[in-house]
Amino acid sequence: MSFAIFFILAILAVGAAVMVITTKSPVSSALYLVLVMCSLAGLFVLLGALFLAALQIIVYAGAIMVLFLFVIMLLNLRRDEFGHDSHLIQKYLGFVLVVVILVQGIVIVGWAMKDYSATSSLAPIEGTPVDYNSAHWVARTLFTKYAYPFEVTSVLLLAAMIGAVVIARKKRLPDIENEEG
């Protein structure tokens, strides 16, 4: 059963990821990316990470993709603006390079895991909880062991927010500034 779910979600994720890259219109790309995020959230559920599955939907499919769609709508990109000058050599060289990276990755993982048996026969230790993946353990670890990185993250978000506002702000023309001053 879990194999069937895994393969359905994996095929959905890979197919949607290919569509993200190959579709001409940026809006369809963004919507396919939402599909990738949602199927990855399903895989997180399959792995038992329920909290992160919820976070994946809320943060990625909710916040980040809305930001993408907002920018695409704001810029009002036309369909025929791209693809006309894509260098052919670059395109195929990129594809070959990606296949090389993929084969390397799979070979290295296969070599590293050749004597790792995922289905361990060892039973859980008596008296330890079964559900280690719960939000309880994530929160406990995040706010004790990783409290400092968590605080640094908030500074990062603040810096990103201020940076985004400053970069995207419309520059005032000098004469308007003089009139106001």
Partner 1 sequence: MVPLGYFIVLSSVLFSIGVWGVLRSRNAIIIFMGIELMLNAVNLALIAFSSNMRQILTRFVQGVSPSEAADIIGSAMASGQVLVFLVMTVAAAEAAVGLAIIISIYRLKDSVNVDDVNIMKW
- Tell whether residue 71 is a contact of partner 1 (CB under 8 A): yes
Smallest distance, partner 1 to C-beta of residue 175, A: 18
Out of 8, 73, 106, 172, the only residue in the binding site for partner 1 (CB under 8 A) is: 106
Give the nearer residue to partner 1 in terms of CB position, either 82 or 177.
82
Give the nearer residue to partner 1 in terms of CB position, either 115 or 181.
115
Contact present, 29 and 56 (Cβ < 8 Å): no
Long-range contacts for 131-135 (Cβ within 8 Å, ≥24 apart)? 131/48, 133/47, 133/48, 133/49, 133/50, 133/51, 134/50, 134/51, 135/50, 135/51
- Tell whether residue 26 is a contact of partner 1 (CB under 8 A): yes
Smallest distance, partner 1 to C-beta of residue 176, A: 16
Give the nearer residue to partner 1 in terms of CB position, either 165 or 181.
165
Three-state SS string across 58-72, please?
HHHHHHHHHHHHHHH
- Tell whether residue 68 is a contact of partner 1 (CB under 8 A): yes
DSSP states along 18-33:
HHHHH-SSHHHHHHHH
Smallest distance, partner 1 to C-beta of residue 137, A: 4
Build a one-symbol-per-residue string for 116-155: x at contacts with partner 1 by CB under 8 A, - elsewhere: x-xxx-x-xxxxxx--xx---xx-xxx--xx--x---x--
Out of 110, 148, 173, 174, the only residue in the binding site for partner 1 (CB under 8 A) is: 110
Smallest distance, partner 1 to C-beta of residue 101, A: 5
Out of 8, 95, 151, 177, the only residue in the binding site for partner 1 (CB under 8 A) is: 95
Return the structure tokens found at 146: 């990783």
The span from the CA of 133 to the CA of 82, in Å, is: 44
Give the nearer residue to partner 1 in terms of CB position, either 116 or 181.
116
Give the nearer residue to partner 1 in terms of CB position, either 110 or 181.
110
Closest by CA to 65, choosing from 98, 96, 32, is 32
